[in-house]
Amino acid sequence: MRRHAQYILIAALIAAVPVIPVRANPVEFLDRIVTFTADTLNGSFSGSLRKTRIDPNGPAPFRVALMLPKSGGLREAAERVARGWEIALTMSDHHVAEYPVSLILVDTSQGIEKTLNHAAAMLEKPGIDVFAGVVGANTAGAMARFSGQHDKPLILAGAIGSGVMSRACYPHVARTSFNIDPYQTTSGRFIATQYKTLVSIGPDTKGGHRIVRRFVKAYRQAGGRIIEQAWATTGSKHDWSALLARSVQGGPQAIYTFYQGRNAERIVHQYSRSGTKRHTDLTGPEWLFGPRVMNRRGKHAAGIRFLTSYLPERETPANRIFVDAYRKAYGEAPDSYAYMGYENAMAVLLTAADLNGQVHGGADFIAAMKKVSFAGLMPRGDFSLNQTNSAFLKRLYWVEIVHGEDGTRLRRLATIPIDPDNSTCKEQTARNAH
């Protein structure tokens, strides 16, 4: 993106975006959007999205290491984040200022130690200007410490856990997604107005318990009653129909569950096929109703209501531009991870453009990001960072899944202001205590 491009970008984006052919087999990652180099960095994967042509006689490229898992439970989330980056790069003509953008993909699915080894390899000449992506909390924490040691900016696309930006103060790290805590407290309080009794189902992990507990506490404080809390072991292909059937025995008005990816798809499918749908509603956060559900299980999901931070049908110029480009590229509506990837890319590219492609340190890059005007450019609407450098989330949408001959879509029922994110990090907490 050229310097000060935010003032002219809307006009440029409205122009026809090149159509990227729709790929077959929409669940495959590597074969669709990544062109890999022969150099595998000792077993990691690397490559470029829509490989940028670098003129050997031109300026050195602006290099971004996009840290995403190649496999595992977050693989599909990573795919959507990478798609969002691809759309933003296409719109930016693969440039910041006069510098071509070189996007290097680094696999984070092989464990923290190997991820850090791969990140260290990225620092070898010609080096990396910015680390971006990262959707898991553990990887985010490790990369925050690593990038700080090397004075490089780290711009997180996901990693929505509350502790990611609060355990320590990181002036060189920004999170363009959001903090999950205000999302959960707002969700619990609102859903108590829709369903007076619930059974909750969540992953039996430390993070799963913490996230569901935040929702349950707010739900109870708003007058809701939890009949039962059930926990399922992670990584298993559960017979969800049995657990769902057990959940309706206490007569709850709804079942609340927090899952994503394949497990989310199985829950929605078996909720319908087992007959549970005839007895009680199903609800949860937006990750329960991602592309797998919307595109493959639309008829089973029809009528389900839930809260989401992102609405593809939202009629704003910035969102319509993004959605139209994404549909042309991939033949489906973007989900939450796709818009998070797109906004992650926009934040990096626009900040780099304002700095004329020059990164002089991690903290300086984040300070510059806080000064950039993103007005009219982000699908979510208003975009700014709080005192812990985490992006604010301003609203949630109460939506219903509608399935018909023209496919599956979301119908907005209400817009709910979200609780403010007043989180602090440890150093700030210590200062506030004095």
Which DSSP helix (H) or strand (E) runs through 306? strand 305-308
Q: Is the pLDDT of residue 343 over 70?
A: yes
Burial of 128 by CB count in 10 Å (0-12 exposed, 13-18 middle, 19+ buried)?
Answer: buried
Give percent of the chain above pLDDT 70.
84
Could you report the per-residue pLDDT of 19-61, keeping only the tens digit for each? 333 332 222 322 333 332 223 233 333 333 445 555 666 678 8
Q: How would residue 92 be classed by pLDDT, with cut points 50, 70 and 90?
A: confident
What are the structural domains of the chain? 5-178+314-369 (3.40.50.2300), 181-308+395-417 (3.40.50.2300)
Nearest to 260 by CA among 175, 136, 345: 136
Q: Contact 253/275 with Cβ under 8 angstroms?
A: no
Tell me what pLDDT residue 246 has.
Answer: 87
Longest dimension (CA), the chain: 71
Q: Is the pLDDT of residue 7 over 70?
A: no
Q: Is the pLDDT of residue 2 over 60?
A: no
pLDDT, average across residues 142-154: 94
Q: Is the pLDDT of residue 420 over 80?
A: yes
Tell me what pLDDT residue 10 has.
Answer: 40
Could you report the per-residue pLDDT of 170-207, keeping only the tens digit for each? 999 999 999 999 999 999 999 999 999 999 998 888 87
Task: Give the contacts of 300 (CB within 8 A, at least 6 positions apart).
Answer: 268, 269, 271, 272, 273, 277, 293
d(CA 294, CA 274): 19
| Tokens linked to 129 | 């200007």
Tell me what pLDDT residue 260 has.
Answer: 79
Tell me what pLDDT residue 334 has.
Answer: 92
pLDDT, average across residues 201-216: 88
Average pLDDT in the chain: 82
Q: Specify the range with the lowest mean pLDDT, choosing from 83-92, 157-166, 285-294.
A: 285-294
Tell me what pLDDT residue 53 has.
Answer: 57
Could you say which DSSP state residue 60 is in?
A: P
pLDDT, average across residues 273-278: 89
Give percent of the chain above pLDDT 90.
46
d(CA 129, CA 104): 11
Alpha carbon distances (Å) from 283 to 72, 217, 260, 275, 287:
25, 17, 13, 16, 11
End-to-end CA distance of the chain: 44
Nearest to 258 by CA among 242, 234, 291: 234
Q: How would residue 237 be classed by pLDDT, with cut points 50, 70 and 90?
A: low
Tell me what pLDDT residue 55 has.
Answer: 60
Tell me what pLDDT residue 199 has.
Answer: 94
